[in-house]
Amino acid sequence: MTDIVDELKWRGLFALSTDEDALRKALADGPVTFYCGFDPTAPSLHVGHLVQVLTVRRLQQAGHRPLALVGGATGLIGDPRPTAERTLNDPETVTGWVAKLRAQIEPFLDFEGENAAVMVNNLDWTENLSAIEFLRDIGKHFRVNKMLTKDSVARRLESSEGISYTEFSYQLLQGMDFLQLYRRYGCTLQQGGSDQWGNLTAGLDLIHRLEPDASAHAMATPLMTKADGTKFGKTEGGAVWLDPEMTTPYAFYQFWLNVDDRDISKYMRILSFRSREELEELERQTEERPQARAAQRALAEELTTLVHGADQTAAVIAASKALFGQGELAELDERTLAAALSEVPHIQVAELGPAVDLFAEVGLVASKSAARRTVKEGGAYVNNVKVAGEDAVPAKEDLLHGRWLVLRRGKKNLAAVEVTGG
């Protein structure tokens, strides 16, 4: 990697910077101490945050020193959303979320060596700061007319909701973060998403006012979008979280496996650590044989391993294969099987009935007569075993982990039945 700016541009990770030539020189002369902030407004990061986490990792691998900030102070306020005020969470909740987010970020970074990462919390320099000190030392250097032009503020002012003084002041807090990190760690670069540009430049302005000789920079990645117009990182079930209790490793893997062909090249460049040659080869395979989904499989495996580990990745790949008859369902552990089956149509029944009834009830076929026809044609499977006849009834011994049946019509149509009776 000869020039990290060129690399970021090729990957689609460079949207804005304050002075590209000066930034390029600073990074070339490096190492540069930089920071990226994450607010604990939920108990987990989601895949939208993954863009920033992995960009921090790239910059560290290029020889620069990361400060990963989890905002115990800014998390108590919340960055203004475009439409409405955030619900304020109590301090104990936010403190717990700080710990969870730190634990999610830390595995991506290296905390040893000359450019060892440092985890920081802005509550350290705000907790004992009085309101008078904040207004005199920080608020004095911000101009309201300029604050009003920030996108998030301007949109809220145009809405019927308006904006509270609390959220209006958020950019002062983030600006103070950059100043404090400059003074404490020699941090001269803030990185974030382009939707944060107003907050990024607020910190730069504050540094330049209070440290006239300082050379500092801001750099933003573009917001990731989906070709179909929906928000990146969202599914019908909501956000795709990094916490395995909120989004199972199986669902996480499936999210990437189902990426639209129109998006996969962009996502691979932004999120994968494969070389240009490897990515260009995967792009070529996708163009020539899109049905093979080679790029989607590669990205799903890489990111699931990064986030959840190799063992979980192996388990979800085995589950994916077994569900479609390419492996032994009985060998899947109960948690992985349950997670996989939660992603397909499923029903609960008190007791087992004829297979044709189950196929119709779960919606794999339109009616019992259609189920009988599917059985007769040899296209109905229970636990990957072809249903022998129209009157076949699964036995209790067939239940996976004593509770599940996997139903399949043809090669690709899956559903599940969970038996809840004793």
> End-to-end CA distance of the chain, in Å?
61
* Residue 385: strand, helix, or coil: strand
Chain-centre distance for alpha carbon 358: 36
> What distance in Å separates the CA atoms of residue 240 and residue 271, rounded to the nearest whole number?
15
Q: Are 408 and 324 in contact (CB under 8 A)?
A: yes
Residue 174 is labelled as binding a ligand: yes
Q: What are phi and psi of 413, to 5 degrees?
A: -95, 110
Q: Around Cβ 196, how many Cβ atoms within 10 Å?
A: 24
Residue 165 is labelled as binding a ligand: no
Residue 140 is labelled as binding a ligand: no
Q: Which helix (H) or strand (E) holds 218?
A: strand 217-221
> What distance in Å separates the CA atoms of residue 277 and residue 112, rounded to the nearest whole number?
30
Instruction: Say how many residues make up the chain.
Output: 422
> What distance in Å separates the CA atoms of residue 84 and residue 91, rounded to the nearest whole number?
21
Q: Which residues pair with 33 in a beta bridge?
A: 65
In single-letter form, the type of residue at position 218 comes to: A
Strands 118-120 and 189-193, sheet pairing: unpaired
Q: Are 45 and 253 in contact (CB under 8 A)?
A: no
Give residues with Cβ within 8 angstroms of 385, minimum separation 6.
Answer: none
Q: Are 178 and 208 in contact (CB under 8 A)?
A: no
Identify the residue whose tokens are 């969470």.
Answer: 89
Return the structure tokens found at 206: 């504050």
Residue 170 is labelled as binding a ligand: yes
Return the structure tokens found at 345: 């149509």
Q: Which residues are annotated as a binding site for L-tyrosine?
A: 35, 170, 174
Known binding-site residue numbers: 35, 170, 174, 234
Binding residues for ATP: 234
